[in-house]
Structure 1
Amino acid sequence: MKLHVFDLDDTLLCGDSEGAWINFLSTKGFFVNEDHASIMEQFEVDYRSGNFDPEKYCLYILQSMQGLHEKELSKLSDQFIEEYFDQLVDQVTFNLLDRIEKEDLSIIATGAMDFLGNKFSNKFGIQDCIATKTEIINNKISGRLDGSPNFGSDKKANVEEWCKRKNISKEEIIFYTDSINDFPLVEYSPKNVIVCPDHKLGKFAQENKLEIIYR
């Protein structure tokens, strides 16, 4: 038995789910600020350079959704999956999923928001999803996070805790990622599959003879 741990954006998906979500919401009357495009561009630059502030990014998304009821969120996220799923997956997506044997377990570990990660895990038939938690108060989005973003060392700690709860040895983990931001979990995992990596992670993967997959 192996535990397949998939990063979501640009790994299992061929694109960025939260970026697509933001584009989707922009058609629904969210993110109407004039500097929205430049803010998003800077987030992308910071992410690719390893200088990303995940909390700032998540709060930017959530504050635009503040006051949205859970039922409306569920309806919007279902509509989002229906409209955007096909453009966020490719053959590599399904090749990675085909690596899961019948006796294996699989989870998504993503910095994306839980309402997105959970929809994708359900769509793929993946058992569980560890994601950044959205704070819900009185059935509405508060505009804040419930805890820290599931990112970097926090993602590693959350996967480690999940394995302890399920009584799964770390030796069973196969971790799939594209980003140097996941380096703590790369170091923790006994086996890694690097998918279309950024420059820093690609260099590390080549130097350490890790499996690399390109789209």
Structure 2
Amino acid sequence: MSKYLYIFDMDETLVDGDCSMLWNQYLVDEGYVDIPNFLDIDKELMARYARGEMDMEEYLDFVMQPLSDIPTESVDTMLYDFVERYVSPRVYEEAKTLIHSLKNTSNDMLIISATASFIVSKVAKSLGIAQSLGIDMVVDNNRYTSKVDGVPSYREGKITRLEMWLQQKSDEYEGLHFFTDSINDLPLCNYADRVYLVNPCEKLKQAAQGKNWQTYAWSKTALSCAK
């Protein structure tokens, strides 16, 4: 029987929102941030990401600051609350249906995200996807730092991380199916065998012209509509 690997971007693909931005909102709401205009600066940095212009090192230097004095165990506990309250209500119903249907097949699923892996892994598990890759952060003195451990899963780095992951697997796949919304994932789109665009950004729409990529318009969540 043929076996395929279904690869998902996370933010704005499975979740109606960006989990990094939602996490930063959570940190502000819970009183962990004392940086003036933190969310406004975060919004500007993420706007650069949407345009495919983000400097990931600059972004991580900024957004990891609130965690510098929080033990990793405490962050882990916070993440359960965060995912339940801020992420789960924003998961696309179409994503839930697709994930459920794939669980009844012989195919595998993997999330690859440019969000920090300590967030990605919690979101992935809440979705019922056991395997995930994110940007691994160096831990020093039991605290997350802004330094990246290894290759960041961002742009071409997603291909590198995927290939490293595949080398550690004994499974052989007939093809790679990839779901995304972002122009930053164009390298992986060109690498995959089948591509599915979920509410794609304008730049990705343009890049998809002339290609046999399927486009989905997944319904916005009630939280998004209430903004």
Q: TM-score, normalised by structure 1?
A: 0.92
Contact 2:16 2:91 in 1 (8 A): yes
Corresponding pairs, count: 215
Q: Map residues 141-156 of structure 1 onto 2, 5 A cutoff.
A: 141-156=144-159
Secondary structure at the counterpart of residue 12 of structure 2: helix
Secondary structure at the counterpart of residue 111 of structure 2: strand
Q: Map residues 60-71 of structure 1 onto 2, 5 A cutoff.
A: 60-71=62-73
The runs of 5 or more residues in structure 1 that have no matched partner are none
Give 1:108's aligned residue.
Answer: 111
Higher helix share: 1
**139-148 or 75-84, which moves further after superposition?**
139-148
**135-144 or 163-172, which moves further after superposition?**
163-172
Give 1:75's aligned residue.
Answer: 77
1:108, 1:99 → 2: CA distance?
Answer: 16
Give 1:214's aligned residue.
Answer: 217
Aligned CA-pair RMSD? 1.7
Contact 1:160 1:170 in 2 (8 A): no
Q: Map residues 107-126 of structure 1 onto 2, 5 A cutoff.
A: 107-126=110-129
Does the C-alpha gap of structure 1 residues 35 and 148 become closer, same or farther in structure 2, counting only changes over 3 Å?
Answer: farther
Secondary structure at the counterpart of residue 52 of structure 1: coil
Contact 1:6 1:107 in 2 (8 A): yes
Partner amino acid, structure 2, of 1:178: D
Residues 47-72 of structure 1: CA deviation (Å, up to 9, x unaligned): 22111122222221212211311110
**34-43 or 67-76, which moves further after superposition?**
34-43
Give 1:38's aligned residue.
Answer: 40
Does the C-alpha gap of structure 1 residues 161 and 153 become closer, same or farther in structure 2, counting only changes over 3 Å?
Answer: same
1:70, 1:4 → 2: CA distance?
Answer: 30
The runs of 5 or more residues in structure 2 that have no matched partner are 219-227
Q: Map residues 1-215 of structure 1 onto 2, 5 A cutoff.
A: 1-100=3-102, 101-169=104-172, 171-215=174-218
Once the two structures are TM-superposed, the CA of residue 32 in structure 1 deviates from its matched residue by 2.4
Partner amino acid, structure 1, of 2:81: Q
Q: TM-score, normalised by structure 2?
A: 0.87
Partner amino acid, structure 1, of 2:156: S
Q: Percent identity?
A: 25
**121-130 or 138-147, which moves further after superposition?**
138-147
Does the C-alpha gap of structure 1 residues 148 and 63 become closer, same or farther in structure 2, counting only changes over 3 Å?
Answer: farther
**108-117 or 32-41, which moves further after superposition?**
32-41
